[in-house]
């Protein structure tokens, strides 16, 4: 996963060394030597993530964190506070607004997995926030990100594991923190019952320090992430400080975060509360959007966004791509000979084909892509950040998803082969393309695909 990083480090040698390490991982990296620079919020707003290095305690780092998190333009940009061995206490960084804290020196693998995780969360949040803005522009009522009443202490379950004494001690230490209520989970198989009762969506702490505990913990993480009822819960893995491999594998399986098992209770609390805060923010935004969009901007037949939403949302997607110097692609899609389906089998069969096409389209594109029913048997897909080669590959995948398997019409007859023609247009970064022109090019390419025999992808010449 590529992205734009901003390193803030007053030590020139350290700054250049870290820059080189991250550039080797194919990140675009900018640097800033003074955390008090007035241009800090503006520079941070253009980044996907900020790495703030603190070599020693001082007001400068605290002020920089406050400035980053108090300015609207960069408040959602995640910040990793990298603390030198002789630097300030790491857990204090969470209270000041840091999204993650690492102790230097840190391995490339650990640093990069933390960067990737935070950038992935930011991009998901940005996409949801863009949709939130679109909903507001459409005049639809929704609650947005308002938290409402004060939250009660976070409920935390500590897995008993293979070390009951250690788990009991950890539970007691966490329970002493005012922001948590901690309970020992005597039997891990009881976890779904706890979640379904009064302790809905607690955070779970797993100690992964012994071979058997690691195997059991990995299996538990995978199970919780596979179950829709527990998929969103916060999971904190505690590992041996020298065991990066276990920590990274826990993240790969779905753990929300990891931390050394000997970390102070204040740091564990800060990580748990921070992860839960992000989860609740994402949940609130998703729920607000779902409630607002369900009827007003959703096609009732296919469940896709309708043209009203696409018309309002695509300019935002295209503007974001232009700001980030990323390409933007549009696909126009039309089912081939669809009228004959209605004529031969009736409109109920035609509706079934449209619904199944929508399912196949949604399954063939990326999570960040916008899929909409444009009208009749015509669909639209907007692909932010997709260059011509990637967009063409996605279009071909979509075509095969429709044409590869005949459609069962629920009648006694054989499944019906259905094909789709696709026109694709791509705006390159800096080309000055406008949305109206891009849609016209995609539409012209669609008709070229029809004229060339249907069931094919045509790329607009201007792409």
Q: Residue 377 catalytic?
A: yes
Catalytic residue among 30, 91, 210, 377: 377
Quote the CA–CA distance of 321 and 329 in Å, as a whole number.
Answer: 10
Quote the CA–CA distance of 211 and 223 in Å, as a whole number.
Answer: 19
Q: Which two tokens stand for residue 397?
A: 């995948």
Active-site annotation, residues: 377
């Amino acid at each position: 996963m590529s992205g734009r990083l901003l390193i803030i480090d007053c030590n020139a040698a350290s700054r250049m060394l870290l820059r080189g390490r991250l550039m080797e991982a194919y990140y675009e990296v900018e640097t800033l030597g003074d955390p008090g620079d007035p241009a800090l919020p503006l520079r941070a707003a253009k980044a996907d993530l900020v790495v703030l290095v603190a070599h020693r305690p001082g007001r400068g780092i605290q002020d920089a964190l406050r400035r980053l998190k108090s300015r609207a333009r960069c408040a959602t940009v995640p910040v990793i506070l990298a603390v030198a061995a002789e630097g300030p206490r790491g857990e204090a960084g969470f209270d000041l607004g840091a999204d993650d804290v690492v102790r230097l020196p840190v391995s490339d693998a650990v640093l990069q997995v933390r960067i990737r995780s935070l950038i992935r969360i930011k991009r998901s949040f940005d996409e949801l926030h863009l949709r939130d803005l679109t909903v507001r522009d459409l005049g639809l009522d929704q609650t947005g990100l308002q938290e409402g009443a004060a939250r009660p202490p976070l409920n935390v379950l500590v897995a008993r594991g293979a070390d009951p004494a250690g788990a009991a001690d950890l539970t007691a230490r966490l329970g002493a923190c005012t922001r948590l209520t901690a309970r020992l989970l005597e039997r891990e198989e009881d976890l779904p019952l706890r979640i379904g009762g009064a302790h809905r969506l607690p955070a779970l702490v797993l100690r992964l320090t012994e071979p058997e505990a690691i195997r059991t913990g990995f299996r538990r993480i995978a199970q919780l992430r596979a179950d829709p009822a527990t998929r969103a819960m916060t999971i904190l893995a505690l590992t041996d400080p020298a065991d990066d491999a276990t920590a990274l594998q826990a993240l790969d399986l779905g753990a929300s975060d990891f931390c050394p098992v000997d970390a102070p209770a204040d740091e564990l609390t800060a990580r748990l509360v921070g992860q839960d805060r992000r989860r609740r923010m994402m949940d609130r935004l998703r729920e607000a959007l779902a409630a607002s969009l369900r009827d007003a901007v959703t096609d009732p037949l296919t469940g896709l966004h309708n043209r009203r939403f696409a018309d309002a949302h695509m300019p935002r997607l295209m503007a974001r791509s232009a700001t980030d110097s990323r390409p933007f692609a549009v696909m126009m899609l039309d089912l081939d000979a669809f009228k004959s389906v209605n004529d031969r089998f009736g409109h109920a069969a035609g509706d079934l084909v449209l619904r199944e096409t929508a399912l196949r389209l949604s399954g063939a594109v990326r999570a960040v892509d916008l899929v909409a029913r444009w009208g009749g048997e015509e669909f639209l897909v907007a692909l932010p950040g997709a260059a011509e080669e990637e967009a063409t590959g996605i279009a071909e995948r979509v075509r095969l998803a429709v044409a590869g398997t005949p459609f069962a019409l629920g009648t006694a007859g054989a499944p019906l082969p259905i094909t789709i023609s696709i026109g694709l247009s791509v705006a390159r970064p800096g080309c000055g393309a406008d949305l109206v022109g891009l849609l016209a090019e995609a539409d012209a390419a669609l008709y070229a695909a029809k004229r060339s025999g249907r069931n094919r992808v045509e790329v607009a010449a201007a792409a």
